[in-house]
Amino acid sequence: MRRLPLFPLPVVLFPDSVMPLHIFEPRYRQMVARCLEFDRKFGLLYHDPDQMGPFQMEPGRVGTVAEIGEFRILPDGRSLLLAHGRERFCIEDGVESDTPYYEAVVSDLSDEEPGDPEELVRNRRRSLDLFVKVLDRFGPSDPEVGAPELELDANREASFRIAAWIYLDPAWQQEFLALPRETDRLRRIDRVLIGVMESEGWHGSN
């Protein structure tokens, strides 16, 4: 377990994805300054104050460790940064401290071991193939937009890599993030992708 500064936001950061952030609140400016001096890491935790009320550090809440990559400070003290999603974490306990930002004791959240590793690879390959089919059919029509650069390696985790390229409700994304088995996450991704194809009257043979 370790102590981690927390940044609650109404968005979800997936492992192996990148998210630009605009830091303007004084307390989070302090948090970022502390991270840059230490290990460049903080915990990004989904929280929508309009739907969930004041932020609480309940044990069991799941987030993603964010590592600060590119960083630029603006003349007025605000900053822009790229947050790189690393491992997932689970809150064990909140920390009372004199810092103006939130801190918690967290533990790493790892996936449960798959029952059949070869079946997991097959499931990854199926989901990646579905995503490519959807992208080929419904991807950006503007060539200047470009297609997502998704590594099609079925020998490494695929569910978060695919989910990062699909716009879904953040509450759905948070539930997805907390699932402990990649197989279950891949099934959910497949349902979304198949739903997109069926909603357009396309069943793969068209």
pLDDT value of residue 201 = 66
All CATH 2.30.130.40 domain ranges in the chain, comma separated: 2-109
Which distant-in-sequence residues (6+ apart) come within 8 Å of 112 by Cβ? 180, 181
CATH for 2-109, options being 3.90.1170.50, 2.40.50.140, 3.30.70.260, 2.30.130.40: 2.30.130.40
Confidence of residue 206 (pLDDT cuts 50, 70, 90): very low
**Is the torsion defined by CA of 183, 187, 188, 190 positive or negative?**
positive
Q: Is the pLDDT of residue 65 over 90?
A: yes
pTM of the full structure: 0.89
Q: Is the pLDDT of residue 145 over 80?
A: no
Of 145 and 60, which is predicted with more confidence?
60
Question: Backbone dihedral region of 79: left (phi > 0), alpha (psi from -120 to 50 degrees) or beta?
Answer: beta
Half-sphere exposure of 116 (CA within 13 A, CB side): 5
CA distance 56 to 32: 21
Q: Which residue intervals of the chain are DSSP H helices?
A: 26-37, 49-52, 117-138, 159-163, 170-178, 182-199
